[in-house]
Amino acid sequence: MRRADVLITVALASLALGGCMRIYPDPELPDVVTQWDEIDCRPGTGKVVVALVGSTRTEVTVPCSDLGVTFADVAREQYRVEAFIQDDTGEAFSRSDSEIDLRNGVDETVYLYFGGGANFRVSWVFADGATCESLDVDLMYLRFMETSGALMYETFTGCSFTPYFGMVPDGTYTLILYARTINGNVAMSAETPEFEIVDPDLTDLGVLTLSR
């Protein structure tokens, strides 16, 4: 008897006896496990939205304190994990994305970083409706200058990684953002007012606008 015929016979027998046939996970399909750290669940944040995006999109919302989401028995294909923590107003406070390839059928664990160890947060937009794509921006350059002028700290990140979480030594600073292509700077922000960094507190620098 063929395997399909056996399964149908078992199912009909179970129903005839008044029972319910249990559906077991498919051992041949991979699982995706996403995890994050408790330190990411800052005061003022609540839920985490995690989406598994491939040929279809599956989205789950859980309390941050769950520290993870599992997508069981997913198709063997390439995916993008898109996740963000909501603040108390429901807006995205921190994002974390990752690319995974499940075509080999092996389970995958994705560790999402939401900036839990950072001591500053900053977001950016471009003036006149410009975007990272329209300006062909490769990198964002963040320049922190101590108000004494003695020290400067700089860091780079991708243009789409906004809001950005990072860490600089304690001190009083101003900040300028530069948008860079392979040919140099194409946009910059105005210099911020002075602000203080005191680790482990998070200093939120808001949204800075870059103009060409």
182 domain-assigned: yes
The three-point CA angle 73-78-84 to 5° equals 80
Q: How confident is the model at residue 20 (pLDDT cuts 50, 70, 90)?
A: low
Residues 27 and 74 in one domain: yes
48 domain-assigned: yes
Summarize the confidence of residues 157-162 as an average pLDDT: 92
pTM: 0.76
Which pLDDT does position 52 carry in this prediction? 98
Does 15 score more than 50 pLDDT? no
Domain endpoint, select from 81, 111, 141: 111
Q: CB of 142 within 8 A of CB of 156?
A: yes
- Tell me the percentage of the chain whose pLDDT exceeds 90: 78
Domain endpoint, select from 66, 81, 111: 111
Which of 4-13, 67-76, 95-104 bottoms out in mean pLDDT, i.e. has the lowest?
Answer: 4-13
163 domain-assigned: yes
Summarize the confidence of residues 130-137 as an average pLDDT: 95
Does 25 score more than 60 pLDDT? no
Q: Kindly write down the DSSP assignment for every residue of 21-85, as one continuous string.
A: PPPPP-TTS--EEEE--GGGS-TTEEEEEEEEESSSEEEEEEEGGG-EEEE-S--SSEEEEEEEE
Instruction: Show the domain range for 128.
Output: 120-211
100 domain-assigned: yes
